[in-house]
Structure 1
């Protein structure tokens, strides 16, 4: 399998990316309805973290099967992948929202593990103005090309691959350092992972997890053609809110 999934430009509809869903699929569907999302023409890309913390985590497999929905793997998918193998503490997993899966029967745990293990680490989407990348947390290489080539490098050691995956799924180094250097060989990089009060932009890296899974949060969508957010950004932010 490839850890990079590539999509040609959408010539018939719109492409959106959405921040972390965390088991709030019904609430997200309401948001999609408000923008007239057309399942026959439009596509929705997820920055990962489909599950945990919300009431609809069990719906993740149904959404993954939809032809208009495409997700990268997040750190919460990573935990669900590892859970059936028994190499994770149940209390720690539950504290991070995985209680719904801890209590699942074995066959259900395996179904989620297998499905999430098939998700790519990175997605590339062609737009009229250039390529947009999607990854859960960060691009851990100086260039996007170096990153995606590394993901499918069969000669890479297991230790190195684990380090690349961990950075892509878990790192907050860029936003903590307010690093504005960006990723030079891509139009934009869309990420989630770090919950913010408002979307933020560091160089060409767009952070869109605005806590749609919080009581006082909301889902941010970003139009991949225009890089405009829904709801609109009140101001151009260049650091975390």
Structure 2
């Protein structure tokens, strides 16, 4: 199966925001959108995927897919949900349940019409989003990594994404949605407030999946998932970072960087990618 790539133009009418993995944390998202006075008529919100599981309001997060201002990539938890719906009596249903999917038990058992009606929208989510393809402000989104090889680390470039130069072998979608190769290095970079690091030929790429104490950019990947939906602190390898799990949203700035906004705080901290 070939990854789906969606292309969107630059936003010339309003602002763009990027939010990390929601995992059912609908109230925290609404808080952040209220803080920035999000205007659905002209602003856009990009999601790194994993709208569901673990948090208390997974269905409300899924309903956001019907909003014209939300643009999400497919995460591994969307894939787990689709697998559970396709295998309601089997191992894939159990795997979803033990990974935070117990919220869907009654809905799956009763063949809930609304959940099933959202299936097509979930399945149609792209694996990669490209914004402003030929502009200086281009950025990409993926759930995990744009990883072509892990040893040594080789990433897909903008040109390879645009020409669909994916391998003929299977597994590329698993990598885009499940990879953790860069997770430990990203966590360390976040803890040490490392300067942004960019990979040749790859525009800034926002990603989730791997929680970090705060947003950080390595190999052109800006890690935005800060652990929403989990309890306790963010861990880096086997070390407790001391930073509580939380939801983070970034606001794109005209000069190409972004400002950070964290649920629970109304203060935006300038932070350039």
- TM-score under structure 2 normalisation? 0.75
Instruction: Give the corresponding residue for 1:85.
Output: 86
> How far 1:94 moved relative to its partner?
1.4
Give distance in 1, aligned partners of 2:45 and 2:21.
Answer: 12
Q: Deviations over 1:105-154 (max 9, x none)?
A: 22445334322111000101128633100000010233233245438x7x
What value does the CA root-mean-square deviation take over the aligned residues?
2.8
Whether the 8 Å CA contact 1:130–1:186 is kept in 2: the answer is no
Deviates more, 1:225-234 or 1:42-51: 225-234
* Distance change (3 Å), C-alpha of 1:82 and 1:149: farther
Whether the 8 Å CA contact 2:197–2:217 is kept in 1: the answer is no
Instruction: Give the corresponding residue for 1:10.
Output: 11
Q: How many residues align?
A: 231
Instruction: Give the corresponding residue for 1:129.
Output: 136
* Distance change (3 Å), C-alpha of 1:84 and 1:212: closer
Instruction: Give the corresponding residue for 1:163.
Output: 171
Higher strand share: 2
* Distance change (3 Å), C-alpha of 1:177 and 1:27: closer
Instruction: Give the corresponding residue for 2:159.
Output: 145
For structure 2, which runs of at least 5 residues remain unmatched after alignment?
149-154, 190-195, 232-243, 262-267
For structure 1, which runs of at least 5 residues remain unmatched after alignment?
none
Instruction: Give the corresponding residue for 2:105.
Output: 102
> How far 1:199 moved relative to its partner?
1.4
> Pick from 212, 216, 235: which aligns with 1:196?
212
* Distance change (3 Å), C-alpha of 1:19 and 1:103: same
- TM-score under structure 1 normalisation? 0.84
Q: Deviations over 1:136-192 (max 9, x none)?
A: 0010233233245438x7xx75xx3x4010000000112335598744323301000
Whether the 8 Å CA contact 1:220–1:229 is kept in 2: the answer is no
